Structure 1
Amino acid sequence: MLNEDNFDDLCEALEGRNLQVGWWSTETFVNEYDARTKYFFWLLERLLKEGRIRLAKHGKFLEGSVDEQLERFRQTFPKTEAEMEDGIWFFDEECPGGAVWVLEDGSLEWT
């Protein structure tokens, strides 16, 4: 995947942005949809487990462990590029949640 310096640079570029931008960033590394999906979930899991983001929907944080939240995403994630609609899915009601960035000072940046 990425080395640590590149991962930190990517996080800096993504900070404060919605999950659609995270999805778009996968195209930099891989082109095929299934590979992009795997890469996106790797990125999402790492951001969640490192506490860089939390997931929320309608102003409330998602409940459950990181693994449970990721599983909700996996269950509803579009199976094809066409279903993703260039990332519009992240704003659809079917998407389980959006990113809330946890900034260095502890403040939250809702996307």
Structure 2
Amino acid sequence: MISELSEKEYKELADAAEGQTLDAILCYAVPDPCPPGFTFSERRELFFWVLKRLLNDGRIRLAKHGKFLEGSVEEQVELFRRAFPLTEPEMEDGIWFFDEACPGGAVWVLKDGSLEWT
């Protein structure tokens, strides 16, 4: 089971997803090359790994209804882990990220320190 990306893959994903909503991170959370039989469960775990890394690296913050989520990075990722759909059909083609059930959205911290709310 693949549980993390290489440094190069992470950097490419983070740069490609910058400024986009969290569903982009899930879409890009695929190793290159993608191994045969790569499952939604593995992709889900990569999403959590990338989310945690982006938070720890200060590239994003998480917010809901205009307020930043509180708690440690681990606590915020755990909120997502508990709420996150277990199957791809439950994601409804990424609509879940815009549903009230999603714990929050991405606020990108740009290189100049400004915030880009998604």
TM-score by length of 2: 0.87
**C-alpha deviation, 1:26, in angstroms:** 2.1
SS in 2 for 1:86: coil
Separation in 1, partners of 2:71, 2:95: 25
**C-alpha deviation, 1:82, in angstroms:** 1.2
Q: Which runs of 4+ in 1 moved over 6 A?
A: none
Partner residue of 1:23? 26
2:5 partner letter = L
Partner residue of 1:7? 10
After superposition, the CA RMSD in angstroms is 1.4
SS in 2 for 1:20: helix
Q: Is the 8 A contact 2:30 2:46 kept in 1?
A: no
Within the candidate set 65, 78, 81, 2:85 is matched to 78
Separation in 2, partners of 1:3, 1:77: 24
How many residue pairs were aligned?
111
Matched, 1:87 2:94: yes
**C-alpha deviation, 1:10, in angstroms:** 1.7
Long gaps (5+) in structure 2: none
Q: Is the 8 A contact 2:106 2:117 kept in 1?
A: yes
Separation in 1, partners of 2:81, 2:5: 22
TM-score by length of 1: 0.92
1:78 partner letter = P
Range moving further from structure 2, 100-109 or 21-30: 21-30
